[in-house]
């Protein structure tokens, strides 16, 4: 239970170092998006990469070469999905959630909040985190595709072009 053999420890050290180096090279080749907090699919790939690395390290049934192929496969699939979201119409919608306005002109959008399973407490927390003390000076709160809440103060709304394409935003009401 506490110790099996020196060869097992040496295997973990050798295969672990090689697998880690392989993952670092793969992440550099794939680019910044691979670990970005963009959407649920990116999160799944990040978790899968970590799980694969752990399996390579700890399972003597998986060789380094099998693990390297598994890591590369995840990377190639991530590239394919990100290419699809950028280049094919509707590709992004198939993989990512669309941002939604959940507060507009200081008032919660009840239907959107219910549909997105968001509470008013969570909405107020996001507003407080942005440095605001009240909802009245907030033009919009957007539930982004990655699950974060973006707060747009009325004083910073400008021409509102950053809100174009956000579900529930049709332009300034005033």
Please check the confidence at residue 120 and state whether its pLDDT lies above 50: yes
- Confirm if 23 and 49 have CB atoms less than 8 A apart: yes
Mean pLDDT, range 154-171, rounded to an integer: 85
Per cent of the chain over pLDDT 70 is 92
Q: What is the pLDDT of residues 5-47, one digit of tens each?
A: 898 889 889 999 999 999 889 888 877 766 665 667 777 888 8
Per-residue tokens: 40: 């649920």
- The residues, ordered by sequence, that sit 6+ positions from 43 with a Cβ below 8 Å of its Cβ are 37
Dist. CA 134–CA 136, nearest whole Å:
6
Per-residue tokens: 41: 């699919």
Dist. CA 64–CA 45, nearest whole Å:
19
* Residue at token pair 């990040």: 46
State the pTM of this model: 0.65
């Amino acid at each position: 239970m506490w110790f099996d053999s020196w060869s097992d420890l040496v295997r973990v050290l050798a295969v672990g170092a090689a697998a880690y180096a392989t993952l670092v090279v793969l992440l550099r080749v794939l680019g910044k998006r691979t670990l970005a907090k963009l959407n649920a699919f990116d999160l799944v790939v990040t978790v899968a990469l970590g799980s694969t690395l752990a399996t390579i390290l700890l399972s003597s049934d998986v060789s380094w070469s099998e693990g390297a192929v598994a890591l590369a496969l995840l990377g190639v699939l991530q590239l394919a999905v990100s290419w699809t979201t950028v280049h094919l119409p509707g590709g992004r919608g198939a993989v990512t959630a669309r941002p939604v306005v959940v507060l507009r002109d200081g008032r919660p959008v009840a239907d959107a909040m219910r549909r997105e399973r968001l509470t008013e407490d969570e909405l107020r927390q996001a507003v407080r985190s942005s440095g605001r003390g009240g909802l009245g000076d907030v033009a919009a709160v957007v539930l982004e595709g990655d699950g974060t809440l973006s707060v747009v103060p009325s004083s910073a709304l400008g021409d509102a072009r950053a809100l174009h394409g956000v579900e529930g935003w049709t332009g300034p009401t005033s």
